[in-house]
Amino acid sequence: LAKTTQPISMDSYEGQEVNITCSHNNIATNDYITWYQQFPSQGPRFIIQGYKTKVTNEVASLFIPADRKSSTLSLPRVSLSDTAVYYCLVGDWDDYKLSFGAGTTVTVRA
Amino acid sequence: GAVVSQHPSWVICKSGTSVKIECRSLDFQATTMFWYRQFPKQSLMLMATSNEGSKATYEQGVEKDKFLINHASLTLSTLTVTSAHPEDSSFYICSARAVAQGSSNQPQHFGDGTRLSIL
């Protein structure tokens, strides 16, 4: 399983854009990159998934460079309710077994 | 869409009791379900992969006789913690992956977890 490295924590203020970069140097050809958000005492919530280039949905954007050795989750105009732990994972699209790293604790302040 | 329901959300029981946790995919069929454990302030640890109609695959260090997994249908997997002890107290979370739609990759969708407290 490809190992991921992300910052342990990030602080931001309401209305700002938050960018979290994840390193996955050993990503394999069949691996997808997926980001999840987790609030305390809840299961992780799917945010976005991509394979290469840029993916955008209603809540976030995911930027993946050509070598796919890293990815950046971009959260536009965060609010207090975006305070959570964000996990970057890579998984094979055949068996899709995921290995969670430590995640990034994002704290949004007023 | 892609809702995973987990039940119960909280259970407290005496040491030696067996506890069953259910994981259901409500609006999609899941050929594969996963069971995780999470201790306070830590990340999720994969315990086992459950495939419909076949035996579960356990991660190294996870006792298969202690954590019984049954995936009897495309929408239901159960985890039974047998003869639970205080050290089994944890937050257990399941996830389900939809049957693949053409070439699109289906992500895992997670339930809201079960807080298990063994006295």
The CA distance from A91 to A24, in Å, is 11
What pLDDT is attached to residue B55?
A: 87
Beta strands in A18-60 (DSSP E): 18-23, 31-38, 45-50, 53-56
What pLDDT is attached to residue A98?
A: 76
What pLDDT is attached to residue B102?
A: 56
Chain A residues touching residue B97 (CB < 8 angstroms): 96
What pLDDT is attached to residue A93?
A: 64
Do the strands A104-109 and B44-51 form a parallel or antiparallel pair, or are they unpaired?
Answer: unpaired
Chain A residues touching residue B108 (CB < 8 angstroms): 34, 46, 96, 98
CB B110 to CB A46 under 8 A? yes
The predicted-structure confidence for B41-87, as pLDDT tens digits, reads as follows 899 999 999 888 888 999 999 999 999 999 888 899 999 999 999 99
What pLDDT is attached to residue A1?
A: 55
The CA distance from B20 to B41, in Å, is 24
Tell me whether A58 touches chain B (CB under 8 Å): no
Are B47 and B32 in contact, with CB atoms under 8 Å apart? no
* Length of chain B, in residues: 119
